[in-house]
Homo-oligomer: A and B are copies of this chain.
């Protein structure tokens, strides 16, 4: 193993790192994405950042890129990215031409799972299910230290599996998707609606209010943890991963590991829940570190 370079192309910023042979970050830089300036701008901003990092690690032969959405294995084309101008464009191919080196690109939640599997909370486990709970609900799977993305490149997208045929419509066209229950904004909106006002608290504040004895918040949190239990029990029934690693803004919520875990245990198809359900180790760095690990995965 030698040095690696990875980029995380997010909606608001592009982040890049150089990892040393042991997987530690030796350099970390950020530039704004400025998606409103369009696709070509994002490609050149990413290429410029990659160029700076490659100057620091000149032996690196190829780089890894994490980005929202599903990246086609056949065409490089991006789908379902919330940075709209990336959709249906061959971003990895265009970036590779701009920097003169091969680019391996993956969904950012897959990068999260890969980093946690290789260097974080999933170490030592064969099948790692990485969960992102924040503005959206997503995830990724790493098997034997490599991303498993699948033919559709959607492995780990538990946020769009349906747990209720008469649930709310999701932007994806399905009904009752887990994301409509378990995203931060979904929780905040549910609380606001129960209070008869528009959303003015974020998810962390709803949990805080619940701990402080706000009975409406308590009720909404109980409901949230029940949905968490039903949704993650489905994942375990289907895949029985060796570990579940939580990331994203909500992964800091202590209730997920206590009452949330108990709700999973109640629903899962087994008497005793053995699966470790644990917070990530790499925090905000997991995505970009995972991107860097793609290049030799």
A240 touches B151 (CB 8 A): yes
- By the criterion CB–CB under 8 Å, are B274 and A151 in contact? yes
Given contacts A162-B267, A163-B165, A174-B267, contact A274 B238 (CB under 8 A): no
Chain B's closest residue to A129 (CB) is B238
- Smallest Cβ distance from A132 to chain B, in angstroms? 14
Q: Does A7 contact B (CB under 8 A)?
A: no
Inter-chain CA distance A166–B166, complex, in Å, is 10
Contact of A172 among B163, B234, B238, B269 (CB under 8 A): B269
| Cα(A149)–Cα(B177), bound, Å | 26
**A169 interface hit (Cβ, 8 Å):** no
A239 in the interface (beta carbon within 8 A): yes
Among B152, B165, B240, B267, the residue within 8 A (CB) of A240 is B152
Q: Encode A218-247 as 1/0 by CB contact (under 8 A) with B.
A: 000000000000100111111111100000
| A238 in complex: contacting residue of B80, B174, B234, B242, CB < 8 Å | B234
A161 at the binding interface (Cβ < 8 Å): yes
Interface majority SS on A: helix, strand, loop or mixed? Answer: loop
A269 near B160: Cβ-Cβ < 8 Å: yes
A79: Cβ under 8 A from any B Cβ: yes
Please give, as numbers and ranges, the residues of chain B lying within 8 Å of A270 by CB-CB distance. Answer: 70, 79, 152-154
A165: chain B residues within 8 A (beta carbon) = 163-164, 230
Q: Does A148 count as interface, using CB distance less than 8 angstroms? A: yes
In the bound complex, do residue A143 and residue B141 qualify as a contact, i.e. CB atoms below 8 Å apart? no
Query: What is the interface size of chain A, counting residues whose CB is below 8 A from a CB of the partner?
Result: 48
Contacts of A141 in B (CB 8 A): 239-240
Q: Chain B residues near A162 (CB, 8 Å)?
A: 163, 230, 233-234, 267
Residue of A155, A160, A235, A239 with highest tally of chain B CB at under 10 A: A239
| CB neighbors of B among A267-282 (8 A) | 267-275
Residue A196 is within 8 A (CB to CB) of chain B in the complex: no
The answer, yes or no, to whether A127 is at the interface (CB within 8 Å) is yes
A81 vs chain B, min Cβ distance (A) = 13
A162-B22 Cα distance, complex, nearest whole Å: 42
CA distance A233 to B233 in the complex (A): 16
For window 142-184 of A, CB contacts with B under 8 Å fall at 143-144, 148-158, 160-166, 172, 174
For A238, the chain B residues whose CB sits under 8 A away are 155-158, 161, 234-235, 238-239
Q: Which 4 A-B pairs have the closest CB atoms?
A: A150-B240, A155-B240, A160-B269, A161-B234
